[in-house]
Amino acid sequence: MSAQGGLTRRRGAGVAQEDSDDLPTPRVTSPAPKDNPFDRPETGREVSDNGHIVAYDPRDMSESAERSKQPKLTLMEEVLLLGLKDKQGYLSFWNDNISYALRGCIVIELAFRGKISMQKDSSRRRFPLADRVIEVIDENQTGEVLLDEALKMMKSSEKMSVSSWIDLMSGETWNLMKIGYQLKQVRERLAKGLVDKGILRTEKRNFLLFDMATHPVVDSAAKDEIRKRVRNICSNRTVVLPPSQFLPAELDFRYLRTIAMVCASYAANVLENALVTMGHEARERAFAHVDELLAEYSQYPFAKRQTGSQGIGANLSQVVAEEVEKNKDRELQLEVVAACLSVFTRLDSLL
């Protein structure tokens, strides 16, 4: 069933506009401020192997070090990759949920990277998670085009709730003043990013009346790793996630991040693509288990699992609790993750 028909549409306040001055500009203007060398960022220098002095911006070095700690693929790319047909290189034409789920993944990814969090306000707990306001806490770029575009919008606009941002980035609004917040061509841009990372390639395919760019899988090992991780979460009694370039050992929230990816794949209606090798009963148990995960992690603090009815992932609550304990100062960011998963339950009810 189409997700667009069941999504809650909100009327938000118009974007605040800057005051304009209609008075004529005077002919004599103030001189432009002179460049102050003390205001310029410090420049680092080092001597290369051939004796040349190389200058660099220290900010670039710190950003590069930060990016090296992140997994090779973002949550959005992993969900999109699960939805793509390996050889044909395109998504199902009948999948209406994936676009909305991908926007939710953008918000989750920004929270995991420490870029946004819930606004620190004691009164926020009076509101449901999805209706709590988020704010930008680190405006440094991530190096991922879509993430940086969303981060820039959040920084320059009024503060809004998690569900409002996902709705607006998806174009789910009746407010004409906020149409500009929609992130366009997200799937195509993500696919091109995967081409740049060597996971996909670009081809042109003829569909009777028109030509369309498709993106078949080149690096099947990348998609296989994601499938294994999904099956690990959805079928193993004790879940162990070995480190890889897609889930580095030093990454914070390795298990919680994987749970978020599985829940997002479920909301995007692409989870079944990772479970095709499982029997019918095993798949049904896996889907029931993901329902439990959504219920458990769509609230904060995360609910404590009593006994998994499917006997799957018995250790997940413990390992996630340990991850949270190690990062107590990031609770406001984890609230954002939980809020996005609560929004996904809205899509889940439409599947």
Q: Which two tokens stand for residue 109?
A: 């990814």
Contacts of 15 (CB under 8 A, 6+ apart): 157, 158, 177, 178, 180
Cβ distance 120 to 331 under 8 Å?
no
Q: Which two tokens stand for residue 154?
A: 């959040």
Query: What pLDDT is attached to residue 7?
Result: 43
**Residue (of 69, 73, 93, 72) closest to 83 by Cα position:** 93
In tens, the pLDDT along 186-238 reads 999 999 999 999 999 999 877 767 778 899 999 999 999 999 999 999 999 99
221-227: long-range pairs with CB below 8 Å, 24+: 222/72, 222/73, 222/81, 222/246, 223/81, 223/82, 223/86, 223/199, 226/73, 226/78, 226/81, 226/82, 226/261, 226/274, 227/82, 227/274
Instruction: List, in sequence order, every beta strand (DSSP E) within the chain.
Output: 44-47, 53-56, 116-118, 134-136, 203-207, 210-214
In tens, the pLDDT along 123-181 reads 888 999 999 999 999 999 999 999 999 999 999 999 999 999 999 999 888 888 888 89
Query: What pLDDT is attached to residue 44?
Result: 58
Report the sign of the C-alpha dihedral through residues 61, 64, 68, 70, in that order.
positive
Residue 271 clears pLDDT 60, i.e. is over it: yes
**Residue (of 228, 232, 243, 215) closest to 77 by Cα position:** 215
Beta strands at 116-118 and 134-136: parallel, antiparallel or unpaired: antiparallel
In tens, the pLDDT along 329-347 reads 999 999 999 999 999 998 7
Task: Tell which wins on pLDDT, 133 or 94.
Answer: 133
CA 351 to chain CA centroid, nearest Å = 21
Query: What pLDDT is attached to residue 102?
Result: 96
Give the amino acid at 102: L
Cβ distance 174 to 198 under 8 Å?
no
